[in-house]
Amino acid sequence: MIPQFLVPGVDHLQMGVSLGLIHFAESMTVLITLACMAAFFAGRLKSGRSRRILSLVSAGIMAILDGVTITEAVRSRLAA
């Protein structure tokens, strides 16, 4: 247990269980929200238009990353 979260006068076990339950509730809220959003967007991304847009965006990102990699390789060769 992290000492700064322990409250003086409260049993360590009780505080640990309380903090664990709070963490569990927060985690479940985030994960359930994420799962619902994924299910919502999965239906939207099945169309042909969405797939083309995603392919173009992915290709653009890969081209940018390739350009950065090549630029860094050239710079390191010139500096050496």
Q: Are 38 and 30 in contact (CB under 8 A)?
A: no
Q: How far is CA 17 from CA 2, 29, 52, in A?
A: 13, 18, 49
pLDDT tens digits, one per residue of 12-50: 888 888 889 999 999 999 999 999 999 998 888 888 898
Helices (H), the chain: 12-44, 48-79
The whole-model pTM stands at 0.54
